């Protein structure tokens, strides 16, 4: 299986889990509201019913957001993906390796630039390594979009600025 396809499928599974969990939590909260509403003779039960109602609304919104992100990922996966090489500017669908100069030496990280899923960490095939999903609107995505292999950016992490150099794009 292509490495990018593996990561797309992994992210799809993350969104499907989030969607399922949010739907279940919303259903549980709705059931609690019904149970408390029928017993709402006490003031405390009315307050609890309001709290569960708010929880249901929040979980429903969470489920809707997960569904939207899942649909956006699926639309993106259906488009023909651009192939990247060492000379191609970084854009959506790029798998990006960077080397970071830190006070502890050099570190390497791999990012996947997608329209959704910022901050999600995915493991490689067979659990080999991991990548971080970034979006064009995320701080890292904004810095890396349009860069090519060999170019560097300054990234500020927890108040410290580091130089990140693009070492590979695929």
Q: What is the pLDDT of residues 77-102, one digit of tens each?
A: 888 677 888 899 999 999 999 999 87
Same domain, 108 and 65: no
pLDDT given for residue 40 in this prediction: 44
Tell me if 33 sits within 8 A of 52, measured CB to CB: yes
Q: What is the mean pLDDT of the chain?
A: 84
What is residue 83's DSSP assignment?
P
Domain assignment present for residue 83? The answer is no
Same domain, 102 and 36: no
CATH for 162: 3.10.50
pLDDT given for residue 4 in this prediction: 82
Cα separation, 153 vs 115, whole angstroms: 21
Same domain, 61 and 126: no
pLDDT given for residue 149 in this prediction: 97
Domain assignment present for residue 90? The answer is no
Domain assignment present for residue 84? The answer is no
Same domain, 74 and 10: yes
pLDDT given for residue 45 in this prediction: 59
Angle, CA 70 vertex, CA 69 and CA 71 arms, to 5°: 90
User: What Rg value do the Cα atoms of the chain yield, rounded?
Assistant: 21
Tell me if 15 sits within 8 A of 118, measured CB to CB: no
Same domain, 153 and 115: yes
Q: Which of 57-61, 145-149, 158-162 has the lowest mean pLDDT?
A: 57-61
pLDDT given for residue 30 in this prediction: 75
Predicted confidence (pLDDT) per residue in 102-135, tens digit: 778 899 999 999 999 999 999 988 777 889 999 9
pLDDT given for residue 85 in this prediction: 86
Same domain, 157 and 107: yes
Range of the domain at 34: 3-78
pLDDT given for residue 82 in this prediction: 78
Same domain, 99 and 62: no
Cα separation, 107 vs 114, whole angstroms: 23
Cα separation, 137 vs 98, whole angstroms: 18
Same domain, 24 and 54: yes
The residues, ordered by sequence, that sit 6+ positions from 8 with a Cβ below 8 Å of its Cβ are: 73, 77
Last residue of a domain, one of 17, 43, 78: 78
Cα separation, 167 vs 33, whole angstroms: 54
The count of structural domains within the chain is 2
């Amino acid at each position: 299986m292509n490495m990018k396809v593996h990561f797309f499928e992994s992210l799809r599974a993350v969104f499907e889990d989030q969607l399922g969990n949010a739907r279940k939590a919303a259903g549980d909260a709705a059931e609690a509201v019904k149970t408390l509403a029928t017993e709402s003779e006490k003031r405390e039960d009315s307050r609890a019913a309001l709290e569960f109602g708010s929880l249901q609304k929040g979980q429903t919104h969470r489920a809707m957001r997960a569904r939207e992100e899942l649909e956006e990922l699926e639309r993106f996966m259906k488009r023909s993906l651009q192939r990247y090489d060492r000379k191609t500017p970084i854009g959506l669908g790029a798998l990006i390796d960077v080397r970071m100069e830190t006070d502890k030496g050099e570190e390497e990280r791999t990012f996947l630039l997608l329209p959704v899923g910022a901050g999600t960490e995915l493991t490689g095939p067979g659990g080999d390594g991991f990548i971080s999903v970034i979006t064009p609107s995320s701080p890292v995505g904004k810095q890396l979009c349009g860069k090519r292999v060999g170019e560097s950016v300054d990234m500020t992490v927890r108040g410290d600025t580091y130089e990140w150099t693009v070492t590979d794009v695929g």
